[in-house]
Structure 1
Amino acid sequence: MELLLTLSLLLFAIIAISFTLNYILTPKINNEKDEKPNNLPPGSSGWPLIGETLEYFSKLKDCIPEQFATERMKKYSTKVFRTNIIGQPTVILAGVEGNKFLFSNENKLVQAWWPATIDKIFPKSSKKTTREEFIKVRKMLHSFLKADGLQKYVEIMDLVMRESLERDWKGKKEVLAGEVVKKYTFGLACRVVLGIDDSEKLEKLAKPTEDIAKGSVSIPINFPGTALYQAIKSSKVMRIEIEEMIRKRKIEIAEKVEQKKNVLSTLLLASDENSQFMNEEDISSHIAGLLHAGFDTLNSPLSFIMKYLVEYPDIYQKVLNEQMEVAKLKAPKDLLNWDDAKRMKYSWSFVCEVLRLMPPGPGAFREAITDFNYGGYFIPKGWKLHWMAHITHKNPDHFPDPEKFDPSRFEGNGPAPYTYVPFGAGPRMCPGNEYARLVLLVFIHHMVLNFSWEKLISNEKIVSDPIPRLTKGFPIRLHPKYL
């Protein structure tokens, strides 16, 4: 075990150093002055080159990233401090005020920032960055992703979950739940994003998606044998498959073949403010990115939903009772709909508590697009800012006894604004949050009505890289119900 821990920390060290070298060797796009103002936020730049990256990744790996922040908040400031991680001078705005400031100043003082590896995995034909392209696609998909646009997809989610039950759950005594939920989330993402359910095509796309997931958080060195190299290679394979689908879909649209609404068709028919349509290569790259996002960030919550349901039998019973009430209103073969999802109030409170303790990511980064002041301190243009969901999620002032699992926190009016941020908050809320809500609720509905289960590993280790996961894939023994 000690050897495995040492190897894991070594891997994080390699990642940290590689990110740092990648940053140093990359030409700077901003004109930072050599002289630093005297009123920078308090903090430390850590070791030369690697800064405080090793400690940050170590805490993240152990699923306690809030400790990285709270230790420095006690030492420097409870509001704001500076550090240096992944080769970037970084400011962490702590707490509710920091969250509100960052989410309210998107594209005013700050903008979204991703490591350069993302542009390599999902290349675009133009000179525009991933951030600029993301903004454009978000506008195009606004009507698709908002609540009204997603209502008709509840039935599709239900249908895909029923197929998953028959194929991967029923008739099995033991399953590796973490692997089975991957099939469900990927199959659903392909149905919603591409409008396909062809098993052969799904198989062609599934392996590249897993390679991309590994490469997006890997050592940023593009060399044969590295995860990034494989991710770039797999992304190309995936985009070729998607471009073939695009050409066929274009013919169907031209011939006015009836189209079921999906992301691919939406992007093909959408134009920007200059009435320009995206080319096939860019659409395929965006689609690959959406499949990755819709697949990777939902697997973790689904696994932890099953973990917490089996660990808290009283909560499982409350969820089951609610889902039985929903089922009573349906004929046996009726698919779930939007109104059914709205009735799952306790189940959603349960999910929110899962996401409070195990958010699908540690937070995100922003980049200062101009010099500005925050809390009396100077933030230089080009510096990175990092918001961390765990800082408020684990703060006893906002969530008393924060390590206790308690869905009642989300009943009634729920937490105060900007304290609960697994999907961001305010004007910068993740556009896929409503999609995620529906996917998770549909999954819960069918699982608790069809099964109870028991863990085969009593204390399975949890790590985060950077999405939290159960290291053994959460093996369980199923106990089917005969309704």
Structure 2
Amino acid sequence: MDIFHWFLLQLLILCISLPFIFRIYRRKPISPKLPPGRKGWPIIGEALEYVMANKNGTPEKFITDRMRKYSPEVFRTSLLGENFAVFCGASGNKLLFSSENKLVTTWWPRSMEKMVLFPNYVGYSAKVETAKIHALRPEFLNPEALQRYIPIMDSMSKQHLETDWSPCKQVKVFPLLKKYTFAVACRLFLNIKGHDQVSRLAYPFSLVSAGLISIPINLPGTAFSRAIKGGKLIRKELLGIIRKRKMELSENIGSAQVDLLSHMLLRRDENGRGMEEKEIAHIIIAFFIASYDTLGAAITVVLNFLAKFPQVYSNVLKEQKEIAKSKGKDELLNWENIQKMKYSWNMACEAMRLAPPAQGVFGEVITDFSYAGFTIPNGWKTYWTVNSTHKNPEYFPDPEKFDPSRFEGRGPPPYTFVPFGGGPRLCPGKEYARVEILTFMHNVVTKFKLEKVNPNEKFIYNLSPIPENGLLVHLHPLNN
């Protein structure tokens, strides 16, 4: 065979082979480069390490150890039986905050859904429920609405301190603040003022709160089982309240009320349809959980640092006394007064930097995307956490030092101080929380100086920071 025919034969073989070679390589998938990390134990994943870090009062350790070991930008873990991509640093926060419903969407663990949702809503899109909550923000949580709440919060905090604090030489701050923030929520969300009805609602909410991140084993005596029971009681009680209010509104009784419940019952979509009773109950439960647990914990943390640092307390007291002097004897706080509490809010922000009222938020990936050279697959869960930035010396030099001046001027770099999230993921109740924190601060610092009974009392973490022994303090009344 001459060279020419040999060349033609080889070319023919190549042409015949190419489609088969292409098909074989096409069938062989190229493995995506997933974020580094480990899945931990079967089923429970790394849940044990996560829980232990929270119980030891060092929730940031779970995050920072893995940032050092795997990647400072994103790492993989397994929690709640799911693959998680944990996004870290300011860039990770920015990505998740700005990618809502583009790359990721809201996700709730099925165990939490079983506690708070009606059974036929379990598995229903958390994205839809969250969108409804955010839709209420412009109307129920706007500055005009918040201005109406300030005098109510002010009068209720005065009454709470007079009734539950003044008769005592020592108090446990955390349980009293949970009682107070729950009563305020009952008043503003449902227009409930009576002690008996508030107490009847508070008990099942305490069961749900205690079981939110418990092991989802529905056996008698477990926290999860008690939380399921609490959720049923809450939903039953709320449906009764909702139906009674619907009847009152139809008869023009109390139609001028501006609480959250009446607002939702009177609301109509573009087709003139109102909200379903069960949807209203879900939103009210979400508002209560945020205002009851998270906000109570936030105010507790603020008072902890006021008691710990006398000079900080003196600076806050000086600012609040100036505001008090500008008002009449029985005149309640207003929006203008809140805007003047600049140092007090800087102090509260520094407290929430060191002990954030919430650890982070879950999400779900809705389309494959790349980040920091890694592929984040569709269906994975995401987690943004305050613990990758709040104590990071890159953003906050000498991070363990308590220094309210960090928040003067332009404050910290964007996406580094994130106790309320940010961007489209900004907590709808951020301004509500600011108003309630500052209103209570005003009343407590102008009435008492606080001294911790145990200066070294540790905070442990569930969803929120909880003082191990309730934050027991000596009360030193001021001579005003």
For 2:65 and 2:231, the matched residues in 1 are separated by: 39
One-letter code aligned to 1:60: N
SS in 1 for 2:389: helix
SS in 1 for 2:41: coil
- In structure 2, the residue matched to 1:472 is 469
Q: Would you say the 8 A contact 2:294–2:464 is kept in 1?
A: yes
SS in 2 for 1:152: helix
**Is 1:161 the equivalent of 2:157?**
yes
Q: How many residues align?
A: 450
- In structure 1, the residue matched to 2:356 is 359
**For each residue in 1:424-478, what CA deviation from the matched residue of structure 2 results, as whole angstroms up to 9, or x when unmatched?**
0112100011111111101100001001121222311221123111111111121
**Is 1:72 the equivalent of 2:69?**
no
CA shift for structure 1 position 341:
0.3
Q: Determine which of 81, 92, 98 is the counterpart of 2:86.
A: 92
CA shift for structure 1 position 204:
0.8
For 1:62 and 1:120, the matched residues in 2 are separated by: 28
Q: Aligned runs of 1:33-48 on 2, under 5 Å?
A: 37-48=31-42
Q: Would you say the 8 A contact 1:118–1:130 is kept in 2?
A: no
One-letter code aligned to 2:449: S
SS in 2 for 1:476: strand
- In structure 2, the residue matched to 1:12 is none
Q: Aligned runs of 1:221-240 on 2, under 5 Å?
A: 221-240=217-236
- In structure 1, the residue matched to 2:263 is 266
Q: Determine which of 409, 418, 425 is the counterpart of 1:412.
A: 409
For 1:118 and 1:52, the matched residues in 2 are separated by: 19
- In structure 2, the residue matched to 1:449 is 446
After TM superposition, the score normalised by the length of structure 2 is 0.90
CA spacing shift, 1:35–1:209, aligned 2, 3 Å: farther
- In structure 2, the residue matched to 1:4 is none
- In structure 2, the residue matched to 1:55 is 49
CA shift for structure 1 position 337:
0.7
- In structure 1, the residue matched to 2:186 is 190
Q: Determine which of 310, 315, 319 is the counterpart of 1:313.
A: 310
CA shift for structure 1 position 259:
2.4
SS in 1 for 2:446: helix
One-letter code aligned to 1:134: T
Q: Determine which of 139, 143, 158 is the counterpart of 1:143.
A: 139
One-letter code aligned to 2:189: V
Q: Would you say the 8 A contact 1:122–1:286 is kept in 2?
A: no
- In structure 1, the residue matched to 2:288 is 291
**Is 1:346 the equivalent of 2:343?**
yes
One-letter code aligned to 1:370: T
**For each residue in 1:324-345, what CA deviation from the matched residue of structure 2 results, as whole angstroms up to 9, or x when unmatched?**
0110111111110111100000
Where does the alignment leave 5 or more consecutive residues of structure 2 unmatched?
A: 1-27
What's the C-alpha RMSD, in Å, of the aligned pairs? 1.8
For 2:71 and 2:238, the matched residues in 1 are separated by: 49
One-letter code aligned to 2:361: A
For 1:345 and 1:251, the matched residues in 2 are separated by: 44
CA spacing shift, 1:452–1:109, aligned 2, 3 Å: same
CA shift for structure 1 position 163:
1.4
Q: Determine which of 210, 215, 218 is the counterpart of 2:214.
A: 218
**Is 1:122 the equivalent of 2:116?**
yes
Worse overlay, 269-278 or 159-168 = 269-278
CA shift for structure 1 position 35:
7.3
**Is 1:113 the equivalent of 2:107?**
yes
- In structure 2, the residue matched to 1:31 is none
**Is 1:81 the equivalent of 2:75?**
yes
For 1:412 and 1:36, the matched residues in 2 are separated by: 50
- In structure 1, the residue matched to 2:148 is 152
CA shift for structure 1 position 260:
2.1
Q: Would you say the 8 A contact 2:59–2:461 is kept in 1?
A: no
Q: Would you say the 8 A contact 1:360–1:468 is kept in 2?
A: yes
Q: Would you say the 8 A contact 2:80–2:109 is kept in 1?
A: no
Q: Would you say the 8 A contact 1:341–1:441 is kept in 2?
A: yes
Q: Determine which of 316, 325, 329 is the counterpart of 2:326.
A: 329
SS in 2 for 1:420: coil
For 2:412 and 2:396, the matched residues in 1 are separated by: 8
SS in 1 for 2:85: strand
For 2:440 and 2:136, the matched residues in 1 are separated by: 28
Q: Would you say the 8 A contact 1:37–1:378 is kept in 2?
A: no
One-letter code aligned to 2:311: D
**Is 1:134 the equivalent of 2:130?**
yes
**For each residue in 1:235-277, what CA deviation from the matched residue of structure 2 results, as whole angstroms up to 9, or x when unmatched?**
2222222222222211221222342211111111123455432
Q: Percent identity?
A: 46
Rg (Cα) greater in structure: 2
Q: Aligned runs of 1:164-175 on 2, under 5 Å?
A: 164-175=160-171
After TM superposition, the runs of 4+ consecutive aligned structure 1 residues lying more than 6 A away are none
One-letter code aligned to 1:328: K
